[in-house]
């Protein structure tokens, strides 16, 4: 049984084809009007066609409506033309309720689809340097990337979640050196701590750990060896901490990809060779340059410095070549917005590697502006002044934290005030949604105490669901699959929380106006059936966000 929206969509497609056979590349958009006087669904397609057909929109609307009336689909109560040429559809209420049995029978699968057609997508996110604990900004990237992956999976894509570890290079040396210097301090030596070193307390803690294990042993080693030991130790401990934090944040990666492995395998060298063979590399001032301007970048970029060292960008190209060779149909990179200047060159590289630049989608996540009581909190890894993701999770909880991140477009700046998130936690949008779920669970408990079980196999008399609010809820439930789809195709997780809010607000209102459990057995059965459908959609939607659906709060 196709959903009403689908049927209207198809009907309109046919109607448009019928009015004018000259290859119109317009697909009519079906929307839900803001006010109910405008029907359950509406389309502005007649206005969209005016330019092409050079006819009055109302005339076009009339011929579309004529076509529709000739078909006279059984779900349609009436169709009318309004305003400048809107076509408004009024649906019979019993037609709407056909979605309920579908939701009940599909259960946790309701909302999933096959639009992805098994396409293979990689989502690379977080990828924070293992030089310190994750901070709040990484948390936002983690929430967005993970939710996106869940949404894409729900739409029939095969998804791989990957974390790229920058485990080599100058920063790693500085990390090793930072720990080593702290270690020397613990051993009573006076050291000067350079400005570019990591000053966080966690560095001191790591040095202490090494001291507890090794005593003054490292002091006797040549500095280079000792630093290397410190680096290995610190890197491993920090990365383990990152994994732990992410796991607690309900983010699990399928693969942790090491930058160092690209150096070891010679892939970076091979990548540069490949580009050179294709004429995209030239030498200048003793360095090797990638001709990214040939693909729209504003200037060419160095890949091998005059001292012979490859740049970070060179490794990044090799990394993306590696991704491309793994056969992904689409590659999604989620970056902090401070890296926006790298999009053009990365897309240029992908194209130079013989692929399509459209295969790479870069989602920029704006940095989080962390506040406490309205005052900005300093955030600098180097200076060691930052609030870690773990601290935020401990303070406001995983559910609230993820929800706050996911309720905004990723490219909008985000003020995250810890005091507000904490103090107003009972007014936090996530609880509004979770409360509806808990409330429903409670209703079912009461129902079962009264011996009003819920029989999944038996469909009650749904024509009893005639209240405006019931129709509205049913209609919204029917929208869920489209919301998930649009969220996937636009790569915008925030559509889910906004949908949830609409649905839940409608449900709470309904709950306050009508009793689900009453003396009328048939009506109770029908309403419990509706309630169960709501509960399923709430669970499924929250699950896409990685937010829990508690039975009690």
Partner RNA sequence: GCGCCUGUAGCUCAGCUGGAUAGAGCGCCGGACUUCGAAUCCGUAGGUCGCAGGUUCGAAUCCUGCCAGGCGCGCCA
Binders of RNA in range 118-137 (CB under 7 A): 129
Of 199, 441, 454, 548, the one binding RNA (CB under 7 A) is 441
- For residue 196, give the 3-state DSSP assignment: coil
Mark residues 224-243: x for contact with RNA by CB under 7 A, - for none: --------------------
- Mode of pairing for the β-strands spanning 368-372 and 255-258: unpaired
CB of 42 to RNA, least distance (A): 3
For residue 156, the minimal CB distance to RNA (Å) is: 20
* Residue 414 touches RNA, criterion: CB under 7 A: yes
- Ranges within 47-76 binding RNA (CB under 7 A): 47-48, 50-51, 57
**Binding mask 338-357 vs RNA (x if CB under 7 A, - otherwise)?**
xxxxx---------------
Count of residues interacting with RNA (CB under 7 A): 93
Counting contacts by CB under 7 A, is residue 553 touching RNA? yes
- 411: helix, coil or strand? coil
- Helices 521-545 + 136-154 axis angle, to 10: 120
Q: What are phi and psi of 540, to 5 degrees?
A: -65, -40
Full 3-state SS string of 122-150 = EEECCCCCCCCCCEHHHHHHHHHHHHHHH
Region of residue 41 (phi > 0: left; psi between -120 and 50: alpha; otherwise: beta): beta
Contacts of 482 (CB under 8 A, 6+ apart): 5
Q: Which is nearer to RNA, 492 or 532 (CB)?
A: 492
Tell me how far apart the terminal alpha carbons of the chain are, to the nearest angstrom. Answer: 37
Angle at the Cα of 294 (from 292 to 299), degrees rounded to 5? 45
Q: Quote the tokens at residue 367.
A: 């940095």
Tokens matching residue 497: 């929380």
Segment 524 to 543, residues that bind RNA, using CB under 7 A: none
Residues 413, 419, 455, 521: which binds RNA (CB under 7 A)?
A: 413
Query: Which residue in the set 3, 5, 16, 38 belongs to the binding site for RNA (CB under 7 A)?
Result: 38
Among 424, 463, 466, 521, binds RNA (CB under 7 A): 424
Choosing from 380, 514, 520, 521, the residue that interacts with RNA (CB under 7 A) is: 514
What is the C-alpha separation between 20 and 183, in angstroms, rounded? 79
In this structure, what DSSP letter does residue 246 have? H
Question: What is the smallest separation between the CB atom of 366 and RNA, expressed in angstroms?
Answer: 6
Under the binding rule (CB under 7 A), the answer on residue 302 touching RNA is yes
Element (H, E) at 480: helix 468-489
| Residues in 480-499 that interact with RNA by CB under 7 A | 486, 490, 492, 494-495, 498
Point out which span in 12-20, 100-108, 273-281, 337-345 binds RNA (CB under 7 A): 337-345
Residues in the chain: 553
| Residue 501 binding RNA, by CB under 7 A | yes
Q: Does 443 bind RNA (CB under 7 A)?
A: yes
HSE-up of 480 (CA within 13 Å, CB side)?
31
Residue from 12, 16, 44, 387 binding RNA (CB under 7 A): 44
Binding status of residue 194 toward RNA by CB under 7 A: no
Range in contact with RNA (rule: CB under 7 A) among 223-231, 232-240, 266-274, 303-311 = 303-311
- Minimum distance from CB of 506 to RNA (Å)? 8
| Gap between the Cα atoms of 135 and 372, Å rounded | 15
Q: Give me the sign of the Cα torsion angle 34, 36, 40, 44.
A: negative
Q: Which part of the chain contacts RNA (CB under 7 A), choosing from 42-50, 95-103, 350-358, 458-466?
A: 42-50
Helix %, strand %, coil % for the chain, to 5?
55, 15, 30
- Of 184 and 363, nearer to RNA (C-beta) is 363
**Which CB sits closer to RNA, 18 or 343?**
343
Report the residue from 19, 53, 337, 471 that binds RNA according to the rule CB under 7 A. Answer: 337
Binders in 134-173 for RNA, by CB under 7 A? 166, 168-171
CB-CB contact of 408 with 494 (8 Å): yes
Q: Which of 1, 22, 23, 35 binds RNA (CB under 7 A)?
A: 35
In the complex with RNA, the residue whose CB is nearer, 208 or 514, is 514
């Amino acid at each position: 049984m196709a959903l009403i929206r689908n049927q209207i969509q198809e009907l309109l497609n046919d109607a448009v084809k019928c009015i004018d056979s000259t290859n119109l590349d317009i697909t009519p958009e079906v929307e839900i009007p803001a006010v109910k006087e405008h029907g359950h669904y509406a389309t502005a397609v007649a206005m969209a066609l005016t330019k092409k057909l050079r006819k009055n929109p109302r005339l076009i609307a009339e011929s579309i409506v004529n076509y529709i009336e000739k078909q006279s689909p059984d779900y349609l109560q009436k169709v009318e033309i309004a305003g400048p040429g809107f076509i408004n559809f009024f649906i019979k209420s019993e037609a709407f309720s056909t979605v309920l049995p579908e939701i009940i029978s599909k259960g946790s699968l309701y909302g999933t689809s096959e639009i992805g057609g098994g396409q293979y997508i990689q989502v690379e996110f977080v990828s924070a340097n293992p030089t310190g604990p994750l901070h709040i900004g990484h948390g936002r990237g983690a929430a967005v990337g993970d939710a996106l992956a869940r949404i894409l999976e729900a739409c029939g894509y095969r998804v791989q979640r990957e974390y790229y570890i920058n485990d080599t290079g100058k920063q790693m040396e500085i990390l090793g050196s930072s720990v080593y210097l702290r270690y020397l301090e613990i051993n009573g030596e006076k050291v000067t701590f350079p400005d570019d070193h990591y000053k966080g307390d966690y560095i001191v803690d790591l040095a202490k750990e090494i001291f507890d294990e090794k005593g003054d042993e490292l002091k006797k080693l040549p500095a280079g060896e000792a630093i290397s030991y410190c680096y290995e130790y610190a890197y491993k401990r920090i990365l383990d901490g990152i994994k732990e934090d992410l796991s607690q944040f309900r983010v699990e990666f399928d693969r942790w990809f090491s930058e160092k492995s690209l150096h070891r395998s010679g892939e970076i060298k091979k990548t540069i060779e490949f580009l050179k063979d294709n004429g995209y590399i030239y030498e200048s001032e003793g360095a090797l340059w990638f001709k990214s301007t040939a693909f729209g970048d504003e200037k060419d970029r160095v890949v091998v410095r005059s001292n012979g060292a490859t740049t970070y960008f060179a490794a990044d190209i090799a990394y993306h070549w590696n991704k491309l060779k793994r056969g992904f149909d689409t590659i999604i990179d989620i970056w902090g917005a401070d890296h926006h200047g790298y999009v053009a060159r990365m897309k240029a590289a992908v194209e130079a590697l013989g692929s399509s630049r459209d295969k790479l989608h870069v989602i920029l996540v704006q940095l989080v502006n962390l506040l406490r009581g309205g005052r900005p909190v300093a955030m600098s890894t180097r200076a060691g002044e930052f609030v870690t993701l773990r601290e935020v999770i401990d303070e406001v909880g995983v559910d609230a934290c993820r929800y706050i991140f996911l309720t905004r477009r990723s490219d909008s700046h985000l003020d995250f005030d810890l005091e507000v998130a904490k103090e107003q936690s009972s007014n936090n949008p996530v609880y509004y949604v979770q409360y509806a779920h808990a409330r429903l669970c409670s209703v079912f408990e009461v129902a079962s105490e009264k011996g009003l079980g819920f029989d999944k196999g038996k469909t009650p008399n749904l024509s009893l669901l005639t209240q405006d609010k019931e129709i509205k809820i049913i209609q919204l439930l029917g929208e869920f699959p489209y919301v998930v789809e649009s969220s996937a195709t636009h790569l915008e997780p925030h559509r889910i929380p906004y949908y949830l809010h609409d649905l839940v607000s409608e449900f709470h209102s309904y709950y306050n106006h009508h009793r689900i459990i009453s003396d009328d057995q048939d009506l109770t059965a029908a309403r419990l059936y509706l309630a169960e459908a709501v509960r399923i959609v709430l669970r499924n939607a929250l699950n896409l966000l990685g937010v829990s659906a508690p039975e009690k709060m």
